[in-house]
Structure 1
Amino acid sequence: MTTSKVLKLMVAAIDFGTTFSSWAFSFKHEYEKDPTKVQTKNWNSGKSISHKAPTTALISSDGKTMEAFGYEAEDRYAELLSDGTHQKWYYFQRFKMSLFENKTLNRQTEIEDINGKTLKALTVFSLVIDYLKRNLVDECKMKITTGEFEEGNIYWVLTVPAIWDDKAKQFMREAAIQAGIGKEHVMIALEPEAASLFCRHIPLRVMSSEVVPLNAGTRYIVIDAGGGTVDITIHEIMEDDKIKELHKATGGAWGGQEVEEAFKRFLIKIFGNHVLQKFKRDAMEDYIDLFRDFEVKKRKIKPDGKEKVVFIIPAKLKEILESEPGETFDKCVSQSGLASDVEVIKGSKLRINSSVMKGFFAKSIKSVVGHVKAFHDSNAYGITVALMVGGFSESSMLVNAVRDACSSWKVVVPDEAGLAVLKGAVIFGHNTTPIAYRVSRHTYGYRTTQAFIEGVHSDEHKVLCDGETLCRNIFNLFLEEGGLVYDGQVFVDRKPFWPNIDGDNFGIEIYASNDKNVRYTTENSCTYLGLLTVDNLDVDVPIEDRFAYVTIKVTNSEVQVEAADPNTGRFMNTSIDFLQ
């Protein structure tokens, strides 16, 4: 069933982030009046209210039940640690990046929790999606009493980074289905595209003054800086008000999480890794509070700021350190090589120079700025505006660095930059047509065998079959890297395929390459993506007449296939499995 046939009285979006996650929704009648009227979740950390919660999952010992999520999971696990009963539980933090980093991702892939215990990644992701889904539904049932809310009328949107591959996209879709969302009621939205749609509906200002219109012909870059990844895409507003992608999505693991990792390396330099790890094991609640405090303070750091930053060092961390022979807090600071920028005050506080705090941003900012500056300096796409969205774009350290490096662009950070993806995903769910064209990130093709042509084909792939000389492993291209793809575009149109053996089904191997001139699927540049399968051919006809017409197209950034049996006129079970 296509998304257009689904009754979307309510659209709900789940932003499954590396560091923070949440949900949002709006009803159809609300969207039609004001697309930006999107309701979001408020999470209570115990000390403040936020629109997102840490992507942290506490799973029971059976490996099947979500006990707590977000701030509650952090607090519950800290209690379990203090009671010494934590070992039987599974505790996962910031595990989304496993999909980006794992090039052999499949349904059996396992991920490790904080203690090295493993569960299937598909189980963990589906439990989180199920939790967020149920949390939204439960709150709606309490708040909405007019009779307009029916769970079956919800259309769900899951956001993913644009730089994710097809395996990871399918993985998220299957996790959603395993979480109880019907396959006709869920779609995948690319995060920078969702953010771009949100920004089309709100005033955009440079430095809180000049309003930047996104009119037809405007070319802009979207810098979606989240906790784990930074996604970068280039868009143009077309005359019909739709969006055209100009360059394939790029980016990397340069998000705000790297700033926290730099802070962790700083603590290790002072206290030593073994002390910090013991502190984490023995006083998890204090460990969590220390990094929550850092999260708050890092958001306040400004490029021109001179203020020193003070951190209260938990008593347990000092106790663990000073239980080491001859070690004291003051001594460790003085011997760390940081004494000129870090001082101990009142025996239990660290006062850090602003230069050290700014240094925590250096690696991440260097990666982001270096990447976007290449687009700025080449001026190949005529970009005039930079939209900075995502939680990390709320940091003036990153924003000012981009402004300084890309001085000819109007750099805009919209209000609620951290919610731009989430709210934009709700808008996208109501109207999936604004993205008219995308750019292919890879060259795609399928493996085939053809008649061998001397001087054209390589002898390496020559085979003799039933008296006929054939060339196998040919890469039959259907989409070239950098090629412009319109939504719903058909690449393979009712092409006949025959089963390899006398049977009622067959598979077509799909490959991708970053080489536009790839010829054989065995080349080093080629990566096997998955198997396109067709089932239930008519077995009552001769084998030479037993085939299927296969169509391959792209809809909403995902590859879709269908197959028809010409002997019966039936459409058959068809799919591309990227997770074999």
Structure 2
Amino acid sequence: CLTVPAMWSDKAKATMREAATMAGLIQEDDHRDRLMLISEPEAAALYCEKKCEQFNLKHNDRFMICDAGGGTVDLIVFEIDERSGRKLRECTKGHGQSCGSVFLDRRMRKLLKKKFKEYLSTIPASAFESMMDNFVELIKPQFDGVEDQFITLPASMNLASLNNPAIGLEDGMLCLTAGELKKDVFEPVIKEVINLCEEQLQKAQRLEAIFLVGGFGSSNYLFERVQEEFGSRVGLVAVPPRCELAVVRGAVYFGLNPHVVTTRIPRYWYGIDTTTTFEEGVDPPSYKIVRADGSVRCDNRFSVYIRRGQPLDIDNCVSKDFFAYYPHHTTCTLYAADTDEQPRYTTSPGVHKVANFTIPMPSLTEVMEGEKVDLTIKMYFGEVELRVEAVIRGKTYGTTCTFDSE
């Protein structure tokens, strides 16, 4: 089982599977379940679900995972379902943003350069990085917003005897006040995390718990700020044991029981290109098609398969009937849109081509060349990865997928 960021596209996940094959983790002819993919916040949710009993979470309770890592912060909300064993239902569309702990590092680097601007030309790069290491390893995880922090200047800086109270420099020590660390380093980033949590809470309407996981999730100050903002509205704000390992341990649980999650929320509208009755005054004249039978059709219409934000069972299958002329194969192009409203056309803003699926024609000895062959295309959108199959004459066949460039 491999974990992938929640913001990854279908193509990115397919590329990960291809890389795993090239690396020898799986073989091309292995069953697809030989390698399973799971999003990082979902894996973390499975880990926290194992801890739900100790946190007294029960049937119908909702909890949010705030997976705060180095680069991104991903959020997901699940509801506990105990009607047939302990299961999880995703109940809001997950969200993520680039506001992880590396952005604290960037702001800290900027603060140090501001403080030492008069001496930058004389400070060796290694000495500057030594101060950054001190921040990353000691100050960042332990900072509580109250205590001032101190950095011992490396001897190579040759500033040990310099006193400059204006920048907090005295006797070879740099004092960073709690106030300036909050204002210049922590608060701008943590406010983004809190805004993400607020958005998810509004969508979920209620939460019984918020779990902070990931490397950044272990930050004392992040916990205190989330507790401060949501403690009165959410019953529990907690950091589970070994929260930095929540994703990898959750991936193990998923491998052992991939059916714990029963419902997911699609991040996109999915559909295909089709034609519909042309509407004068609504559809562009350039999309008008007049067929031989006199009917007037509109080209490039977006025919919806899956609605963005609507709960979807993991085994949900959308079936569409097609036909091909033997022995020729047929293709199907899938489109997606990350828009609030349902797109009308496959050319509308926000719509992009996901992939072309080629359905190979099997050898059918009883069929003559040029004869029409009925087939059914089945698309599975509730799984972590998009899966497309074709049913021809009662047998199921895989499809060849070519993802569009991003």
Question: Which TM-score applies when normalising by structure 2?
Answer: 0.85
**Partner of 1:172 in structure 2?**
16
Counterpart amino acid of residue 7 in structure 2 = I
**Partner of 1:342 in structure 2?**
168
- 2:77 and 2:200 in contact (8 A); partners too: no
- 2:67 and 2:217 in contact (8 A); partners too: yes
Aligned to 1:265, the other structure's residue is in SS state helix
- 1:510 and 1:531 in contact (8 A); partners too: no
Q: Residue deviations 1:274-320, cap 9 Å, x none?
A: 9599955xx4xx66544332212211111232x331243361xx37x
**Partner of 1:236 in structure 2?**
79
Aligned 1:157-168 pairs, distance under 5 A:
157-168=1-12
**Partner of 1:251 in structure 2?**
96
- 1:432 and 1:556 in contact (8 A); partners too: no
- 1:536 and 1:573 in contact (8 A); partners too: no
Aligned 1:481-492 pairs, distance under 5 A:
481-491=308-318
**Partner of 1:383 in structure 2?**
207
1:489 CA displacement: 0.5
**Partner of 1:301 in structure 2?**
143
**Aligned residue pairs: how many?**
391
User: Which whole-Å CA distance do the structure 1 matches of 2:6 and 2:122 have between them?
Assistant: 35
User: Which whole-Å CA distance do the structure 1 matches of 2:344 and 2:21 have between them?
Assistant: 37
| Root mean square deviation of aligned Cα | 3.2
Aligned to 1:217, the other structure's residue is in SS state coil
Q: Residue deviations 1:59-98, cap 9 Å, x none?
A: xxxxxxxxxxxxxxxxxxxxxxxxxxxxxxxxxxxxxxxx
- 1:343 and 1:352 in contact (8 A); partners too: no
Q: Residue deviations 1:22-71, cap 9 Å, x none?
A: xxxxxxxxxxxxxxxxxxxxxxxxxxxxxxxxxxxxxxxxxxxxxxxxxx
**Partner of 2:262 in structure 1?**
436
- 1:258 and 1:363 in contact (8 A); partners too: no
| 2:187 is equivalent to residue 362 of structure 1 | yes
| 2:361 is equivalent to residue 536 of structure 1 | yes
Counterpart amino acid of residue 550 in structure 1 = I
1:527 CA displacement: 2.0
- 2:4 and 2:40 in contact (8 A); partners too: yes
Query: Which of 310, 320, 332 is the equivalent residue of 2:151?
Result: 310
1:570 CA displacement: 4.9
Unaligned runs of 5+ residues in structure 1 are 1-156, 205-210, 320-327
- 1:189 and 1:556 in contact (8 A); partners too: no
Unaligned runs of 5+ residues in structure 2 are none
**Partner of 1:42 in structure 2?**
none
Aligned to 2:79, the other structure's residue is in SS state strand
After superposition, the Cα gap between the structure-2 partners of 1:268 and 1:381, relative to the gap in structure 1 and judged at 3 Å, is same
Q: Residue deviations 1:528-553, cap 9 Å, x none?
A: 22222222366964556145321101
**Partner of 1:263 in structure 2?**
108
After superposition, the Cα gap between the structure-2 partners of 1:542 and 1:218, relative to the gap in structure 1 and judged at 3 Å, is same
Aligned to 1:364, the other structure's residue is in SS state helix
User: Which whole-Å CA distance do the structure 2 matches of 1:451 and 1:351 have between them?
Assistant: 71
Q: Residue deviations 1:5-29, cap 9 Å, x none?
A: xxxxxxxxxxxxxxxxxxxxxxxxx
1:466 CA displacement: 5.4
**Partner of 2:344 in structure 1?**
519
1:571 CA displacement: 3.8
1:370 CA displacement: 1.9
Counterpart amino acid of residue 261 in structure 2 = I
User: Which whole-Å CA distance do the structure 2 matches of 1:203 and 1:244 have between them?
Assistant: 15
Aligned to 1:216, the other structure's residue is in SS state coil
1:269 CA displacement: 2.1
Query: Which of 538, 556, 560 is the equivalent residue of 2:383?
Result: 556
1:252 CA displacement: 0.5
- 2:329 and 2:358 in contact (8 A); partners too: no
After superposition, the Cα gap between the structure-2 partners of 1:190 and 1:466, relative to the gap in structure 1 and judged at 3 Å, is same
1:558 CA displacement: 1.7
After superposition, the Cα gap between the structure-2 partners of 1:308 and 1:564, relative to the gap in structure 1 and judged at 3 Å, is closer
Counterpart amino acid of residue 302 in structure 1 = D
After superposition, the Cα gap between the structure-2 partners of 1:562 and 1:380, relative to the gap in structure 1 and judged at 3 Å, is closer
User: Which whole-Å CA distance do the structure 1 matches of 2:387 and 2:400 have between them?
Assistant: 7
User: Which whole-Å CA distance do the structure 1 matches of 2:340 and 2:121 have between them?
Assistant: 46
| 2:20 is equivalent to residue 194 of structure 1 | no
| 2:307 is equivalent to residue 480 of structure 1 | yes
1:212 CA displacement: 2.2
- 2:61 and 2:80 in contact (8 A); partners too: yes
1:361 CA displacement: 1.1
Aligned 1:397-408 pairs, distance under 5 A:
397-408=221-232
1:407 CA displacement: 2.2
After superposition, the Cα gap between the structure-2 partners of 1:302 and 1:548, relative to the gap in structure 1 and judged at 3 Å, is same
User: Which whole-Å CA distance do the structure 1 matches of 2:188 and 2:403 have between them?
Assistant: 34
1:442 CA displacement: 1.4
- 2:287 and 2:299 in contact (8 A); partners too: yes
- 1:248 and 1:441 in contact (8 A); partners too: yes
After superposition, the Cα gap between the structure-2 partners of 1:456 and 1:541, relative to the gap in structure 1 and judged at 3 Å, is farther
Question: Which TM-score applies when normalising by structure 1?
Answer: 0.61
**Partner of 1:292 in structure 2?**
133
Q: Residue deviations 1:75-127, cap 9 Å, x none?
A: xxxxxxxxxxxxxxxxxxxxxxxxxxxxxxxxxxxxxxxxxxxxxxxxxxxxx
- 1:462 and 1:472 in contact (8 A); partners too: yes
After superposition, the Cα gap between the structure-2 partners of 1:314 and 1:380, relative to the gap in structure 1 and judged at 3 Å, is same
**Percentage of pairs with the same residue:** 27
- 2:134 and 2:151 in contact (8 A); partners too: no
- 1:218 and 1:236 in contact (8 A); partners too: yes
Aligned 1:83-94 pairs, distance under 5 A:
none
- 1:341 and 1:353 in contact (8 A); partners too: no
